[in-house]
Amino acid sequence: MKHILLTLALIVMYKSSNAQNWLNTTEYPFHSNYLTTEHGKLHFIDEGKGEVILFVHGTPTWSFLYRNYIKALSGTYRCIALDHIGFGLSDKPKNFAGTPQEHAKNLNLLIEHLNLKNITLVVHDFGGPIGLAYAIANPENVKRIVMFNTWLWETENDKDAQKINKILHSWLGNYLYLNTNFSPSVLLKKAFYNKKHLSKNIHKQYKKPFPNKGSRYGLLNIGKSLIGSSDWYGQLWKQADAIKDKPVLILWGEKDDFIKKDNLEKWKSFFSKDSTYAFEAGHFVQEEKTEETIETINNWLKNSSIR
């Protein structure tokens, strides 16, 4: 009996240790940390020491999107990046609502858990409203903001968003998202302006966190929140004067077919202290213009600290 129990224990340990054997630890050489929430374990990385930089991703990405930024900046700054519940190396419960509002609550929990102060907030895609919700509610604790392609206003009247919403609420959309891993497999690649910047090995790191139907509800739920959470975005936008005068660095992919350039113009007309750089890139500027944007961020952080 003891031999049987020992064998079973070894099998469990083996499966656990190989649950993420797809992870490229050369590209992502970070120590994993977990925060237990009511919806499951939230994965995050915490690298380096110094002023806090907090990276917030959107869909269908995870903290892997910021790997090169963390490698470059963690020698000078404390770099923290989470995986939202339902994404990356975090748990993927089927019954989690998965709205940006719920992700924002988890982000708040992580900030409180780590007692983060004087934060530089880096946001992208759905990570915009998720991260900026914290900044708007706690402006005294956010020093500055780095922003990739994102939004913070009502979406219900946006024609492109309406098309996506219609598909996601159809039988076909649900089938594609849950049964074919459509979001990271197809949509992510389509969002690149220059597809050469997405190698098979890197693409694999975005597809593998979602190995089966049960792991993909987070993708579907946040997709449906593009319009489903429109009222919440609108409320945040009405309160956004709380961050209007923050130092803001905007790094924008001007070839983005999802969050288009008119959104950039809206941001530029809103912030009073923005530095804006546009790149010939699609939605994932972090992958297409890695070196250029790291250099820009590094210089901007140094200069904004001097002021």
The CA distance from 232 to 216, in Å, is 24
Q: Which domains does the chain have, with CATH numbers?
A: 32-306 (3.40.50.1820)
Residue 116 in contact with residue 94, Cβ under 8 Å?
A: no
Tens digit of each residue's pLDDT, the chain (307 residues) = 545 444 444 434 433 334 589 999 999 999 999 999 999 999 999 999 999 999 999 999 999 999 999 999 999 999 999 999 999 999 999 999 999 999 999 999 999 999 999 999 999 999 999 999 999 999 999 999 999 999 999 999 999 999 999 999 999 999 999 999 999 999 999 999 999 999 999 999 999 999 999 999 999 999 999 999 999 999 999 999 999 999 999 999 999 999 999 999 999 999 999 999 999 999 999 999 999 999 999 999 998 765 5
- Bridge-based pairing state of the strands 33-37 and 248-253: unpaired
Closest-CA residue to 150 (of 67, 271, 47, 273): 271
247 upstream amide cis, omega within 30 of 0: no
pTM: 0.93
